[in-house]
A and B are shown apart, each in its own frame.
Chain A
Amino acid sequence: MKEELFVSGRNIPNIDPYLNIWHWQIPLYLFLGGLAAGILFFAALFTIMGKEKEMPAAVKKAPIIAPIALILGLIALFLDLKHKLFFWQLYTTIRLESPMSWGAWVLMAITPLSMLWVASYMKELVPGWKWKNNLLESFEGFVIKYRLWMAWMIIVLSVILGIYTGILLSAFNARPLWNTSILGPLFLVSGMSTGAATILIMSKSKEERRTMSWIDLLLIIVELFFITHLIMGMKAGSQVQIDAVSLFLGGQFTVSFWVFVILLGLVFPAILEILERIGYHIPVVIPVALILLGGLMFRFIMVEAGQLTRYLY
């Protein structure tokens, strides 16, 4: 029998009895960041492949979501800060060891790039659009001229952004549930899958929809594979990791994880996409909404559950 109780003035809000310093802002940001990363990745990828004509939604339309998601995500991040007026300190230094520093700088680069990307397609998206300023008009010409360069920058930055949303969590060895290197790739794939789903619903071309749903299906399978890896790795890990993963295997997050993330967020939309492929007509909004909701739930559950896990001593 072993018992441990706190006897002194250790009663700190948000730390005792459970650490809960990160609330809704962080998982929401992780979702929006992943979504933006996914959308921008495909926009850049198809531009580099020279498929702007075949994939109009991926290259031109869906990227409108990216800067909106990034700005909303940045607002959420800002709301999370407790010492808000000092936020600019993030940009006085580059700390290679800190994922959050990487994230701050990547966001600093990719947010304006995503805006430029959208701006460069404004005339094609909105017929009759004019910048009403000579300088802006010539700047647009400049941006359009170097679009391919921009695509290369965006493809690199979007992968860093997508992976970083996972590494942000996995770098904390004090939280055993997060402390696994698969989390970076897992969040990247999940972000890409939400991005692909967004492109899917914004697309009007049958050919493009076919390609995107194929990509999305592939990403879902990879994601399920990574989640299996995550659970297996934890099960075979140290005691703290076994305890951590038990939150999903009988613990308090079992139902929300298996029902909302695995079944409704991944397996069910995958089945729907397969049914669509073999000829059934499924309204595209159903799998897309499920994928987006599943991605959002996944991040909320990971952040919440991770904060419950700790070292035993």
Chain B
Amino acid sequence: MRYAMAIDTLKCVGCSDCVVACQMENNVPIGFCRDWVTETVDGSYPNVEIELRSERCNHCDNSPCVRCCPTGASHIEDGGIVLVTHHKCIGCGACIQACPYEARYSHPEGYVDKCTFCIHRVRKGDKPACVAVCPTKCMYFGDLDDPNSEITNVLKNRKFKSLAPEAGTNPQIFYLI
């Protein structure tokens, strides 16, 4: 099993519903977020292009955060989901330094927190909160090892990119372009 997410940058309107849904679902403290939307403007008027991206932890295959964790609190769950065990985390900040996507933050309670791909929902067969609420249905979540899954098909048929692949992390969030 290899969970991954594909996000269609051509369909995304940047409404930030995914951000709010995540904050509600996961009780993210005010002033922090596990996912966010970036807007990249390219070109100069009148030839301007905007790319909207809903970003979060890339649940990297080669995750530097897991490698540098001194206690094993950062670990990889079945399906390749990168998680932090709160009661093992000492809050040293190494994983925050190690993440090229800056997807982790220090929770006010001390431990490090990040996107979990809503593992509590995924285990029940639901989709992550951000995917479930997307009004333009621009996000796909599923198992890359399953040849018939929606995400496998969408990645087969569309051009895509991932963020900072040169960091050697093998990210598992794909942006359809």
Give the B-binding residues of A (Cβ under 8 A). 1-16, 19, 21-22, 80-84, 86-87, 89-90, 92-93, 95, 97-101, 103-104, 171-175, 238, 240, 307, 310-313
The 10 A-B residue pairs with the shortest CB-CB distance, nearest first, are: A82-B91, A83-B110, A83-B91, A10-B36, A100-B70, A174-B100, A101-B70, A8-B37, A89-B71, A21-B93
Q: A4-B40, A12-B31 are in contact. Are A21 and B89 (CB under 8 A)?
A: no
Q: A19-B102, A81-B91, A90-B70 are in contact. Are A174 and B38 (CB under 8 A)?
A: no
Q: Give chain A residues whose Cβ lies under 8 Å from the Cβ of B80.
A: none
User: Which chain A residue shows the least CB distance to B161?
Assistant: A313
Cβ–Cβ contact A81 & B90, under 8 A: yes
Which stretch from B118-126, B134-142, B145-153, B162-170 is at the chain A interface? B162-170
* Contact surface of B with A, Cβ cutoff 8 Å: 14, 16, 19, 23, 31-33, 36-44, 64, 67-73, 87-94, 96-102, 105-106, 109-112, 163-164, 166-168
Is the pair A95, B42 in contact by a Cβ cutoff of 8 Å? no
A7 lies within 8 A of B39 (CB): yes
How far apart are B104's CB and chain A's nearest CB, in angstroms? Answer: 8
Whether A311 lies near B93 (C-beta < 8 A) is no
Q: Which residues of B contact A9 (CB under 8 A)?
A: 16, 19, 23, 33, 36
A contact face: mostly helix, strand, loop, or mixed: loop
**Residues of B contacting A240 with CB < 8 Å?**
166
With A5-B39, A21-B93, A81-B92 as contacts: A173 and B64 at CB distance below 8 Å: yes
Residue of A nearest to B19 (CB): A8
Looking at B40, B97, B166, the one whose CB has the most chain A CB atoms below 10 A away is B97
Q: Which residue of B lies closest to A21 (CB)?
A: B93
B residues less than 8 Å from A19 (CB atoms): 96-97, 102
Q: Do A83 and B90 have beta carbons less than 8 Å apart?
A: yes
The answer to whether B88 touches A86, judged by C-beta atoms less than 8 angstroms apart, is: yes
A residues near B99, Cβ cutoff 8 Å: 174
Name 28 A/B residue pairs within 8 A (Cβ), A-sorted.
A3-B41, A3-B42, A6-B38, A6-B39, A8-B19, A8-B37, A12-B32, A12-B33, A12-B105, A14-B105, A16-B102, A19-B96, A81-B91, A81-B92, A82-B90, A83-B110, A83-B111, A84-B90, A86-B90, A87-B90, A97-B67, A172-B94, A172-B97, A172-B98, A310-B100, A310-B102, A311-B166, A313-B164
Are B94 and A98 within 8 A (Cβ)? yes
Instruction: Select which of A2, A84, A98, A238 is within 8 A of B70 by beta carbon.
Output: A98
Q: Would you call B70 and A104 a contact (CB within 8 A)?
A: yes
Q: How far is the CB of B94 from chain A (nearest CB, A)?
A: 5
- Give the complex CA separation of A14 and B42 in angstroms: 28
- A90–B38 touching, CB < 8 Å: no
Q: How far is the CA of A310 from the CA of B101 in the complex (A)?
A: 9
Docked CA distance A21–B104 (Å): 11
User: B101: which A residues are within 8 A, CB to CB?
Assistant: 311, 313
- Whether the pair A93, B72 counts as a contact (CB closer than 8 A) is yes
A174 touches B167 (CB 8 A): yes
Distance A245 CA – B69 CA, assembled complex (angstroms): 27
Please state if B42 and A98 are interface contacts (CB–CB under 8 Å): no
Cβ contacts under 8 Å, B71 to chain A:
86, 89-90, 92-93, 95, 101
- The listed residue (B64, B109, B111) touching A174 by CB distance below 8 A is B64
Residues from chain A with a CB closer than 8 A to the CB of B97 are 19, 21-22, 172, 174-175, 307
Q: With contacts A4-B41, A6-B38, A172-B68 known, what are 7 further pairs, Cβ within 8 A?
A: A21-B93, A82-B91, A82-B92, A82-B93, A83-B109, A83-B110, A98-B70
A15 to B96, CA, bound (A): 9
Q: Given that A7-B39, A311-B167, A313-B163 are contacting pairs, would A100 and B91 also be in contact in the complex, using a CB cutoff of 8 Å?
A: no
When C-beta atoms are compared, the residue in chain B nearest to A105 turns out to be B70
Known: A98-B69, A172-B97. A86 touches B89 (CB 8 A): yes
In the complex, the answer to whether A95 meets B111 with C-beta atoms within 8 Å is no
The reply to whether A100 and B16 form a contact with Cβ atoms under 8 Å apart is no
Complex partner residue of A173 from B32, B94, B96, B100, CB under 8 angstroms: B100
CB of B74 to closest CB in A, whole Å: 9
CA distance A6 to B111 in the complex (A): 25
Q: Is A80 a contact partner of B38 (Cβ separation < 8 A)?
A: no
Q: Is the CB of A8 within 8 A of B96?
A: no
Residues in B with CB closer than 8 Å to A83 are 89-91, 109-111
Q: In the docked arrangement, what's the CA distance between A119 and B117, Å?
A: 54
Instruction: From B16, B31, B167, name the one whose CB has the most chain A CB atoms within 10 angstroms.
Output: B167
- Looking across the interface, which residue of chain B has its beta carbon closest to that of A306? B97
A175–B69 Cα gap in the complex (Å)? 16
Q: Which residues of A contact B40 (CB under 8 A)?
A: 2-4
